[in-house]
A and B are shown apart, each in its own frame.
Chain A
Amino acid sequence: MANDPEDKQPPASSPSEPPAAKPPAAAGEPVAKPPAAPVAPAAKPPAAAAPPKPPAPPKEGPVALENDLVKRYREKFGPAILEAWVDRKQAILVVARELLAEVCVYSRDDEKFDWLSDLTAVDWPKREKRFDIVLNMYSFEKNEKLRLKVYAGADERVPSVQGIWATANWMEREVYDMFGVVFEGHPDLKRILLPDEWQGYPLRKDYDILTQDQAWVRENLGIESGQ
């Protein structure tokens, strides 16, 4: 296809390495942001601000987040909260992979984000840790959403959260099916949409859109190609 996935660059907000000691200010390095950017609930540290371009329309983009919620998370988990930012008015926390399950239990029980609406992944093949595991949570009580993210390398296992939310069972299977991310502690991690014997992980960026498991297609469908 026209788009070689290797050409695509991760957005500025995605750090290229595990930012253990990175200050949250570095989370978002968006294109010239006018002071009145409508997305920022917390003021952006002015240090990084480029000379503002007044005629530019207000751009949407990631802005570092520092509010009570983030403070509570940081108090509880300290350095395990790697980054926090706001994008399109939606709060995003990046947490250390090892502590994902603990953070989820805390989110569900103490912060009342009791409903897991979605769990998915994004592939950034050029990054050192290529996968984002993305959890979208919702709180009925607070009527708020929160997004958790975890960075995972190609061979790294991610703690399963299906013991915390039963709904994560199939979502994690789908991520495994499409990206090949292995979830530690999942009771039944197998493909969900594709056939069990299928080779390859279709939603990885290096899996071309016309790729298919030729051997499987020949054997099971009796045709040369499904294209």
Chain B
Amino acid sequence: MADERIPFATHAESTVLGADEIVLNMGPQHPSTHGVLRVKLRLDGEKVIGSECVIGYLHRGVEKIAEHRSYQQFAPYVDRMDYVAAVSNGLGYCEAVEKLLGTEAPLRARVIRVILTELQRIASHLFWLGTHALDIGALTPLFYCLREREEILKIFEKYCGARLTTHAFRIGGLQYEAYDELEKDVERFCKPFDKRVDEYESLLTENRIWVGRTKGIGVLTAKEAIDYGASGPVIRASGVKWDIRKAMPYAAYDLYKFEIPTGQNGDTYDRYIVRLEEMRQSRLICLQAIENIPTGPIMGKVGKVLKPPPGEVYHAIEAPKGELGYYIVSDGTTQPYRVRIRPPSLINLEAFDKMIRGHLVADVVAIIGTLDIVLGEVDR
């Protein structure tokens, strides 16, 4: 254990390389690093014996910007972090500020939030599945996944006019009332979606190449996952049955029944199975939610000028990639004194070095893919 924690840099800078050892630089411009991730690999033949992630190429200083914007003005910025799951980011931020203010959005708003967030989880997982499969060499799932994802983005577009960086929620509730056909659209998407997931499974789950490339690759035991602060599907695939939607329900998740899928081996294959099952569960939540959307206001009583009383709050939600936490400190003015965003991508990526050691270069892309990182969120 102690040896594994020796940072890669100390190896790399030592001038003594073994006869078979080389240092390989991957990225920041590489098609399978999902953005601008740079990985330095220390290789013994084709075996990876050490690695170091170099990040920050997409750093935009989001936390600094937050200190210079009012609470409402900052809300659109969070959409630009995890840009394939903007709705979830917005939910976390709005709820954190609501908690800071001591209010809660009306029930109708919370239910609509759940519907959109679960659709977003499906969309995010679909995009992950498509690109992850593409990295490993299966081209077809990408087309299928993007086909379904498009349906979800259309619902977002109809709801708020934007497809990706939606800014769908406001502090205190919603800006827009659900459009007339929302339930129908969600139902039209969700009803056959189960079959669609079966379709992806028929392409991959028992595919010999897929199994060979993912089983036993990048293993993270439950203990290691906890030690490395992993969250979301990564920790669940290692066998920790923990989902913030169940453990500390927010929005309206306490109203719906769903299961927490877990894996046993904590390898790339299990994470794939867990995410697929999560899509099915999200579909069930959506179907339950559209059955009965309560009537009532969509905006709570929050003023136009938000001045939360001095103090602080840490609010975490279960984003598609893991625990997305907002730690906000208020000094009683209209601007946050400090906003810390706990990005699930960054913290899950931290386990990369642990997972890759002993595997082959070809597995690097499998492990980067299975962690489901978005560099906009890693670097903020």
Contacts and interface: CB of A to CB of B under 8 A. Distances in A.
A215 interface: no
Nearest to B235: A115
Nearest to A189: B7
B297 interface: no
A170 B325 contact: no
B310 A12 contact: yes
Nearest to A28: B311
Interface of B: 5-7, 9-10, 55-56, 59, 61, 63-65, 67-68, 99-102, 224, 226-231, 240, 242, 247-248, 308-314, 316, 323, 325, 327, 329-333, 335, 337-338, 340, 342, 346-347, 350, 354, 379-380
Contacts of B67: 3, 209
Contact of B6 (A117, A122, A187): A187
A188 B327 contact: no
Contact of A31 (B10, B56, B309, B335): B309
A87 interface: yes
Interface stretch (A16-24, A42-50, A54-62, A150-158): A54-62
Contact of A209 (B65, B100, B354): B65
Contacts of B350: 166-167, 169-170
Contacts of A143: 247-248
Nearest to B52: A188
Contact of B311 (A11, A168, A188, A203): A11
Interface in A183-222: 187-188, 190-195, 202-203, 207, 209
A193 B102 contact: no
Given A122-B329, A166-B228, A202 B64 contact: yes
18 contacts: A11-B332, A13-B311, A60-B311, A87-B313, A88-B312, A117-B323, A118-B327, A123-B338, A140-B240, A145-B314, A166-B224, A167-B228, A167-B230, A167-B347, A170-B346, A187-B6, A202-B61, A202-B64
Interface residues of A, number: 56
Nearest to A136: B314
B325 A60 contact: no
A60 B59 contact: no
Which 8 residue pairs spanning A and B have beta carbons closest together? A167-B229, A11-B310, A188-B7, A193-B56, A60-B102, A120-B340, A118-B342, A193-B59
A35 interface: no
